[in-house]
Structure 1
Amino acid sequence: MLRAEGISKDWKEFHLRDITLEVKEGEHFIILGPSGAGKTVLLEIIAGIIEPDSGRIYLKGRDVTDLPPEKRGLAYVPQNYALFPNMDVFDNIAFGLRVRKVPKPEIERKVREISKVLGIEHLLHRKPRTLSGGEQQRVALARALVVEPPLILLDEPFANLDVQTRAKLLGEMKRWKRELGFTALHVTHSFEEAISLGDRVGVMLDGKLVQVGEVRDVFSRPASEEVARFLGFENIIEGIAEGRKLRVNGVEIELPVEAEGKVRVGLRPEDIIISTEPIRSSARNEFKATVESIEELGPLVRVHLSLGEIPLTAFITRSSMLELEIEKGKEVYVSFKASALHVF
């Protein structure tokens, strides 16, 4: 469907470096990265809004690098939705069809159909300024999808929504994808969006696409320490490996694979279990640790611990913190499975 080859661009403070990616037909491909990684610049290059310094873009095998946006046939939903304030919802959705000189009866039919799928039939007479953020997002998506583009480009589509609306629309987006079968290239910094919607994900850091793969594979097997830290492996432990044992300052940790010499392993905070007594479980790694500090994050609590000279961070629920009476200086047991460790 889409292939970008060797895309590079110096644009203001952003620098893209030799980006190559392929989006397959019917796929929801997520580009995941922090703010400033260059995600939106890449999307705008693919859309034709910005010219690359080097590289080529192919759509269905056709080189579209030198074509203006309107000749590429793509649909682009920017982060601010860019609805026309002087038009009502019907005319906003119909805009692309009118530009393509679609007959009036066909426009009426298509707008009604897409509005029904996205649940906005009752909004067709309203102006954008009277809509909520979630309603504006639906209208912007309807305007993009109604022209039946080969590819829809989504720039942080849920970033401006409140938590509840965002959660609802994530679920609905999956349903719309099933019903309409569109192909999407979607940029975001949200792990939740990537995991919920993505078929494949590409991690972008500092203008480079550093890892591409199935969502589950990328999140469980990051290609580097840099990717692991971005994806939430807050615990990076360095030691000397001998077979399936990692020795760190007198502590012996069971590994999931054999390794030799100096290695680093990553461990997610949510994979650590905290208890006040030894745990009977399948976890092969269990140690005494001391609570150093606590950060309350709403329903979750980040607990900073020391396992000898090894710092660890774990997540527990607030109710678990109260039940276990977790406080600074308290000695606890921590455990984690060898399979939760990722060896670099």
Structure 2
Amino acid sequence: MLEIRDLSLSLGEFSLDGVDLTVADAEYFIILGPTGAGKTILLETLAGIYTPKTGTITLDGRNITRTDPRDRGIGMVYQDYMLFPHLTVGENVGFGLRQRGDDPARIRETVRKTADLLGIGRLLERTPGTLSGGEQQRAAIARALVLRPRVLLLDEPLSALDAVTRDRLRKELKAVHRTTKTTVVHITHHFEDIFALADRVAVMQGGRIVQTGTPDEVFRKPATEFVAAFTGMENVYRGVSRVRDGEAAIDLGAITVRTVTAVEGDVCVGVRPEEVIVSREPFESSATNVFSGTVTEVQQNGMFSKVVVDAGRPFVAVLTRQSIARLGLAEGEPAYVTFKASAVHVFAR
């Protein structure tokens, strides 16, 4: 229902460069990318804040590329809430309806229902300065939703919140989306948002969309070396693939990795850290990739920690602190890394 074709725009150091994207009706679509990739500019261009140099934006079959923002049927919520401090929460939520000239009784009813949906019905008489960050963000989302937009744009709506509030609001966003069926385009830096909320994901780099797919497709089958590194694959190496009878031996220099692929020649190989098993003795399994090495680093990061084993190439694995202690893993100690052929993702360089 939302179609973006060849969208280009330059704005100082930020730009869009031939962006192509399609979002389905009622889809929760998340855009991921590093700072400066063009994510916010893309959302603001969809909202009508900027006019693209080239390309088209089509919503429900209607070309809205140069339509006034008020007439697009698109709502936008920023990370910093942008609530009016002198108005109550109820007045903030109903602001757009009043601007539109709706009946006051209808405004009160619509505001109440939308506020209840987001769990802020009891706060309608309060002012924004008396609310927590999570409550302010709920009010900002309610203000956008009350207008019943065809598309709701969310610009990193959870980034300014603490971890507990972020997790709670994620669940509420999922429930609101399920109830309203509003099409959502949400940009984020948090991988947790993607797996909790997204139907599909797009990755941006340098003003372009470089990969689109389900969360599992993007994280487990990255299309490029950049996407692999950005989504935390970490174990990414360059090598040469030689295929025989559907099975590939990939020469990484010091070691040879085996997998099933039809891709030959110069390739990139990726293995996610959670797919790598670390042991003190050769691990008994059907896995075809087993390499001996030495632990070079143990990074203690709360519940889960990273262990780096140099087995001809440095492999990063994720283990619990209890597993590290039980195995006696420490820098300088010998260890084995093991991973299945199916855990190896191969893509052309």
Q: Same fold (TM over 0.5)?
A: yes
Cα 1:72–1:261 shift into 2, 3 Å:
closer
For 1:223, the equivalent position in structure 2 comes to 223
**How far apart are residue 258 of structure 1 and its match?**
4.3
Tell me if structure 1 keeps the 8 A contact 2:309–2:337: no
1:325 — aligned with what? 328
- Counterpart CA distance in 1 for 2:146 and 2:264 is 57
Q: How does 1:264-275 map to 2 (within 5 A)?
A: 264-275=268-279
Gaps of 5+ in 1: none
- Letter of the aligned partner of 2:308 in structure 1? H
Distance 1:240 1:39 in 2: 35
Once the two structures are superposed, residues 141-166 of structure 1 have per-residue CA deviations (whole angstroms, 9 ceiling, x without a partner) of 11111111111111001010101111
1:117 aligns with 2:117: yes
Change (3 A) 1:241 1:6: closer
Aligned residues: 343
Q: Deviations over 1:6-44 (max 9, x none)?
A: 111111211210111111111111111111111001100
Say whether residues 1:314 and 2:317 are aligned partners: yes
Alpha-carbon shift at residue 209 of structure 1 (Å):
0.7
The answer for the alignment partner of 1:339 in structure 2 is 342
Matches within 5 A, 1:74-153: 74-153=74-153
Confirm whether residue 211 of structure 1 aligns to residue 211 of structure 2.
yes
- Cα RMSD of the aligned pairs, angstroms, is 1.5
Shift of 1:260: 3.4
Name the stretch that deviates more: 29-38 or 262-271. 262-271
- Partners of 1:198 and 1:29 lie apart in 2 by 6
Amino acid of the structure 2 residue aligned with 1:29: F
Residues 31 and 185 in structure 2, CA contact (< 8 A), matched pair in contact too: yes
Partners of 2:142 and 2:204 in 1: CA distance: 28
SS of the residue 1:15 aligns to: strand
Matched, 1:61 2:61: yes
Q: Secondary structure at the match of 2:94?
A: helix
Shift of 1:190: 1.9
Task: Go from structure 1 to structure 2 and tell me whether the alpha carbon gap of 1:64 and 1:248 turns closer, same or farther (over 3 Å shift).
Answer: closer
Q: Choose 269-278 or 334-343, whichever is displaced more.
A: 269-278
**What amino acid sits opposite 2:85 in the alignment?**
P
Measure, in 1, the Cα distance between the counterparts of 2:254 and 2:64. 59
1:175 is aligned to 175
**Deviation readout 1:99-131 (Å, 9 max, x if unpaired):** 111111111111111111111111111111111
Tell me the residue number matched to 1:248. 252
Give the Cα–Cα distance (whole angstroms) in 2 for the partners of residues 232 and 110 of structure 1. Answer: 43
- In the alignment, the residues of structure 2 paired with residue 140 and residue 126 of structure 1 have an alpha-carbon distance, to the nearest angstrom, of 14
2:171 partner SS: helix
- Tell me how far apart the structure 1 counterparts of residues 184 and 269 of structure 2 sit (CA, whole Å): 34
* 1:148-190 deviation line (CA, Å, top 9, x unaligned): 1111111001010101111111122111111111111111122
Give the structure-1-normalised TM-score.
0.95
Comparing 244-253 with 174-183, greater Cα deviation is found at 244-253
> 1:250, CA displacement in angstroms?
4.8
